[in-house]
Amino acid sequence: MTLGCFLFFTLLPLLYSIENSTGNYPWNTLTDEKVLETKRNFLATNEKLYQHIFSSYNPNLPPVYTKRKENDSRQNQPNKSVILITLMYAKLLELSAPRQLMTVIFEYAMTWVDERLSWDPKEYDDIDHIYVLRNNVWIPEITPFDSLEVVETRPDYKQHVPITYQGVASFYTSVVTSVVCPIDVTFFPFDEQNCSMKLLSYSFYSDEMAMQNEIFKNLQISGVGNDEWEVTNILARSEIRYNASEADQINEFTFFMKRNPSYYVALIIVPSFMLTFLCVAGLFTSPLIVDDLGKFCMGLTTIMSTTVMIGIVAENIPKTKIIPHLSELINEMR
């Protein structure tokens, strides 16, 4: 009861001041009759436009031109659909050398033209674009290729598609995915790697749907990496790969990365040189200062220390035929 009275008398002046303030809060416009009438008219026209577009629209039917005469070449399709893929944001979560996987947050926008979604703005009170839920329109089937798993981070009910009066639709998606990335550890820990995020469409022929890719001009490359890896550049490219029966178009976003070697320098390289120096110095120490047992203990300690260091290196490199120069150096110290 005491708490309730305290809250009542504390909040009452605040509510009173909000009620009597003028022009300081946006919700005051909700009581403006002109604003309300304008919004009502817009919503009514917007609903009319929606009914006009989607009364006969089937989202299960792709806007892909499939008409072809018997003797037409597949490479000369005149009405090819074009999908523009724009990398909007990326964040490297992990580059696992033992598993040879790159885990990354990958956010991209797909833009395409669906002629069935166009209208004349003059007939609808100059409305030039609308927003609809993703389930109401056809979305291009673009899939990450050569990936272990793909997890979408935005639920369907939060995903809207903006559509312009020209039938241009855009869809923004965010995924967390792990892609296969062959890693060369020859110069570990001073190595540089490049891993590619590959996107393709499994459902359509390359002459029916073309994909173009680009990188958002305001994407901050310096913020893509993590504490261990610095992403120095991202390149977008596209290629056609031919197989026995058809051709597939693959779009790639290649991440160029450079490892931060500070951890391995402080934990492995510097201690290795110090142990080697102490071991060599101990061998030439006068017997009056260090006896044979002391030299033996020093050598044994050095071997045990280098074994631990090799274990640290082994945990951070893939088990392949390529042996890092650092491992060879530590083995020589033994």
Domain limits, the chain: 74-260, 263-333
| Alpha-carbon span 148 to 266, nearest angstrom | 33
Low-confidence ranges of the chain (pLDDT < 50): 3, 6-9, 12, 15, 22
Tens digits of per-residue pLDDT, 194-224? 999 999 888 888 778 888 999 999 999 999 9
Which two three-digit tokens encode residue 144?
Answer: 């990450």
Domain at 74-260: CATH code? 2.70.170.10
Q: What is the pLDDT of residue 252?
A: 93
What is the pTM assigned to this prediction? Answer: 0.76
Handedness of CA 276, 278, 284, 290 (dihedral sign): negative
Q: What is the pLDDT of residue 326?
A: 58
Angle between the N-to-C axes of helices 270-283 and 292-315, in degrees from 0 to 180, rounded to the nearest 10: 160
Nearest to 223 by CA among 91, 65, 324, 34: 91
3-state secondary structure the chain: CHHHHHHHHHHHHHHHHHHHCCCCCHHHHHHCHHHHHHHHHHHHHHHHHHHHHHCCCCCCCCCCCCCCCCCCCHHHCCCCEEEEEEEEEEEEEEEECCCCEEEEEEEEEEEEECHHHCCCHHHHCCCCEEEEEHHHCCCCCCEEECEEEEEECCCHHHCEEEEECCCEEEEEEEEEEEEECCCCCCCCCCCEEEEEEEEECCCCCCCCEEEEEEECCCCCHHHCCCCCEEEEEEEEEEEEEECCCCEEEEEEEEEEEEECCHHHHHHHHHHHHHHHHHHHHHHCCCCCCCCHHHHHHHHHHHHHHHHHHHHHHHHCCCCCCCCCHHHHHHHHHC
